[in-house]
Amino acid sequence: MPPTQVLIHGNAKRGTPLMLAAPSVALDLPLRVLVRYDCQGSTRASFHTAAELESAHSLPAATRRWL
């Protein structure tokens, strides 16, 4: 397996209102970014976008400012 790391970032002031609006979003918080080398030696970063989180957890429009 090539070198791989998961970066974890959270902010309670932003995450708490999201979890109050849609408790299932806690499955994706704190935010995680997968950083790895691919087969060609390039660095790749993978993460769920704000739009993906909004859609997956049916977040109300009023919570968009917290993403």
Under a CB-based contact definition with an 8 Å cutoff, are residues 25 and 32 in contact? no
Q: Say how far apart CA 58 and CA 24 lie, in whole Å.
A: 9
5-64 pLDDT, tens digit each: 999 999 999 899 999 999 999 999 999 999 999 989 999 999 999 889 999 998 888 887
pLDDT for residue 24: 95
pTM to 2 decimal places: 0.78
Nearest Cα residue to 43 out of 6, 7, 3:
3
